[in-house]
Amino acid sequence: MPIVRTSGRLPDGRAIHFYDADPASPRRELAPPGPATTPPASQLRWDAWLDEWVVVATHRQRRTARSDVCPLCPSLGEIPGASYEVVVFDNRYPALPAVTGDPGPAGGHCEVVSYTDDHEVALSGLPLSRVETVVTAWADRTAALNERPDVAQVFCFENRGAVVGATLAHPHGQIYAYPFVPARLRRLAEVADTRWDAHRECVACVTVGREHEDPSRVVVTGEAWTAFVPYAAHWPYEVRVVPHRHVPDLAAVDPWERADLAHVLRRVLGQFDGLFQRPAAYVLSWIQAAARPARPAAHVYAEIVSPMRSPADRKHPAAGELGAGMYVNEMSPERAAAALRGEGR
C-alpha cells in the first residue's frame, strides 16, 4: 500500500505533512509558504543536581483549553481542506525552545500528529490501514528529523485522556525532537550498551525470547512484534510492544513489519479500552535510538502505560516514586496481563 506524503506550509509558516493511503484522497494545493514563524520562547535550564535538562515553557499555560473549537477537525481549526487521513504539523505551542539565549543546546522541535479527521474515534478504533498510515508517518518523521543537525533524539508519543494531561479530545499524538538525549532515554541506552559491550547481548531480543517461552505476561503475539507486560512493571497496567527483529528505530522497520505493528498496536490499545469497559487513559511512548552516533545495542519499542488501577482510581506517584525513584506496583504483572487479555472479565 503506497502512502503518499504531501508537504507544505501553513499560512503562518509552520510546516505541515499530509499522509494519504487512499488514491481518492484529495491531493492538496498547499498555500505558498508564509514568513517562518517564531515560536514563543521557552527556556532550557540545566539541573546540575540531577545531570538533566528542564524546559520552562510558561507560554503553554495559554494553550488551547478543552472547551475551545477543536483545532484538529477539518475546516474548523488549523488544518486546511475538508477532509484528511493522517496529518503532521508544527505545534503552535511548542514545549521545546527553538532558540535559546543561554548556553546549551538549541533546536527543539514539536509536532502534532492527527490520526484522523474524525473527532470521535480512537487510535484503537481506526481501520487497520489507517493505523498503518499513522505508523508510516511516525517512521517518516523520525527519519526526516534524525537528519537535522540540531536534533539529537526523536520522541513520538501520545497522551490519551484528561487524566494524563491531554488538552484535546481529538485522536492525536505528538513528536518531540530534542536537541539533547533526555535523561531516561539516556539511561535506557546506557544500560543496553553496557550489556551489549559485556555480553554482545540485546536486552530487548533476550526478553522477547523469554516471553515467548513463558507467555504468562504476553498480551498479543504478532508475526513481527510481541506485546507483553514487563516482568518488573512499574505501573498497574504497562505494556511493551517490541519487534522481533533487532532494529534501532521506526525508520528501520520494514513495510510488512509496519503492517504487523498496526495490527498488534490496535489490539493492545483495544485491550486497554476493554479493561474498564471505557476509553482508557494512557501514555504511549516510542523508545528509539538517538539520532547519532549509531549504537549496535539500540532496539526500538513502544511503552504503553495507564496510571489507572480501576475506572475511578489512579496510581499517584508519591514519596517512594518521586523522592527516591523506587516504584511500588500493587498489581501483579501476570494478573495485569491476564486482565488485558480479557480473562476473568
Residues with catalytic function: 172
DSSP-assigned states of every residue in 101-119: SSSS----EEEEEE--S-T
Residue 205 Cβ vs Zn ion, minimum distance, rounded to whole Å: 3
CB of 183 or CB of 205, closer to Zn ion: 205
- Specify the residue, 27 or 66, whose C-beta has the smaller distance to Zn ion: 66
Q: Which residues of 212-233 are buried (b: 16+ CB within 10 A; e: fewer)?
A: eeeeebbbbebebbbbbbbeeb
- Whole-angstrom CA distances from 143 to 111, 148, 155, 180, 291 are 14, 9, 12, 17, 9
Closest separation between CB of residue 118 and Zn ion, Å?
8
Interface of this chain with Zn ion, residues 11 to 30, rule: CB under 5 A: none
Minimum distance of Zn ion from residue 25's CB (angstroms): 18
What is the β-pairing status of strands 172-178 and 109-114? antiparallel
Position 188 contacts Zn ion (CB under 5 A): no
Give the x/- contact pattern for Zn ion in 278-317, rule: CB under 5 A.
---------------------x------------------
Interacting span for Zn ion (CB under 5 A) from 36-44, 65-73, 178-186, 230-238 = 65-73
17, 109, 170, 217: residue in contact with Zn ion (rule CB under 5 A): 170
CA distance linking residue 59 with residue 91, whole number of Å: 13
Which residue, 21 or 70, is less far from Zn ion as judged by CB?
70
Binds Zn ion (CB under 5 A): choice among 21, 55, 121, 205: 205
Tell me the angle at which helices 183-199 and 203-213 cross, rounded to the nearest 10 degrees: 80
Return the number of the residue (163 or 202) whose C-beta is nearest Zn ion: 202
For 276-321, give the secondary structure using H, E and C.
Answer: CCCCCCEEEEEECCCCCCCCCCCCCEEEEEECEEECCEECCCCHHH
Contact 216, 200 (CB under 8 A): no
Shortest Å distance, C-beta 299 to Zn ion: 3
Burial class (CB in 10 A: 0-12, 13-18, 19+), 35: exposed
Beta bridge partners of 304: 239, 284
Instruction: Please identify which residue in 60, 63, 234, 246 interacts with Zn ion, judged by CB under 5 A.
Output: 246
Question: Taking the complex as a whole, how short is the minimal distance between the CB of residue 51 and Zn ion, in angstroms?
Answer: 27
Is 249 within 8 Å of 289 (Cβ atoms)?
yes
Which residues are CB-contacts of 186 (< 8 A; sequence separation ≥ 6)?
A: none
Q: Is 202 in the site for Zn ion (CB under 5 A)?
A: yes
The minimum distance between CB 72 and Zn ion, in angstroms, equals 5
Q: Which is nearer to Zn ion, 111 or 276 (CB)?
A: 111
In this chain, which of 137, 156, 204, 298 binds Zn ion, going by CB under 5 A?
204
User: Under rule CB under 5 A, which residues in 100-119 are in contact with Zn ion?
Assistant: 119
Contact map string, positions 71 to 100, toward Zn ion, x by CB under 5 A: -xx---------------------------
Rounded CA separation 16/18 (Å):
7
Q: Does 245 bind Zn ion (CB under 5 A)?
A: no
> Do the beta carbons of residue 126 and residue 113 sit within 8 Å?
no
Instruction: State the chain's maximal CA–CA distance in angstroms.
Output: 58
Which residues of the shown chain bind Zn ion in the complex (CB under 5 A)?
Answer: 70, 72-73, 119, 170, 202, 204-205, 246, 299
